[in-house]
Amino acid sequence: MNAIISASDLAKDLVGARPPVLLDVRWQLTAAKAAGEPPFDGRAAYEAGHLPGAVYVDLERELASAPGKAGRHPLPDLAHFGTAMRRAGVSSGTPVVVYDGGQGWAAARAWWLLRWTGHPDVRVLDGGLPSWEGALDTSVPAPAEGDFVPEPGAGLLDADAAAALARSGVLLDARAGERYRGEVEPIDPVAGHIPGAVSAPTTENVGADGRFLPAGELRARFEGLGVTEGSRVGVYCGSGVSAAHEVLALAAAGLPAELYVGSWSEWSSDPDRPVAVGPDPQ
């Protein structure tokens, strides 16, 4: 099953025999706070206009738990996550399509969580809301309660497993290159990367329109970074959000990968963990 869906295919599915549940996960990093501007309000954006029938999901409150030593966006409490998904109408036998404002990071986080906890049919709208050509709605739906119960599976890395994978397989760092090299660090306490990790910015998975590159181009990109058929691959970023987008890109290319959710925000909070700087993985 393809992990992404085009706006035109989604429009067809919505009037088909098995219309998907739609989740709106608009979210942005709140760097604007430093400039004295109010943080992005995903719910307000949703209420101003969303895909008809879509239910808003809050990344900070429903797709993550409170920030701390486990990182800025640790895994959510699974009971809380399950309640949020059922409230949104998610059932195990119903397809789900997730979208955000176009960047794809937040939608990918929801996609990864649902897939990791056992939902068999989840896709991300390629290009997010800007790709949708139909009418938007401002009413807030009240879907029937779903029956989805999250059951964690494979594909999750902790800090020690990520460190080991950097030696035995391929660990991709999805942050911007300058953060990987340790030239700047706008958010976390230490600059640099996990020793052995390979720089693979998430932004290079998409074209100028914000949509994913074709599967063949994505596969060629990852092969150029050392990913081969049968490689064990892990991905991390700053806090396990943009890295989910890279896991999604790998899935679209037919390459399975694991996610280190704590990512650099967890790794860098422990002064005993080693840090590499510069363009070389080591």
With residue 122 as reference, give the H or E element that holds it. Answer: strand 122-125
> How many of the other CB atoms lie within 10 Å of CB of 37?
10
Q: Contact at 8 Å (CB) between 105 and 237?
A: no
Q: Is 87 exposed, middle or buried (0-12, 13-18, 19+ CB in 10 A)?
A: middle
Catalytic residue among 4, 97, 176, 237: 237
Active-site annotation holds for 237: yes
> Measuring CA to CA, how many Å separate 193 from each of 139, 171, 235, 239, 241?
44, 11, 12, 13, 17
Helices marked H in the chain — which ranges? 7-14, 42-48, 59-62, 78-87, 105-116, 159-168, 177-180, 215-224, 242-252, 263-267
- Active site members: 237
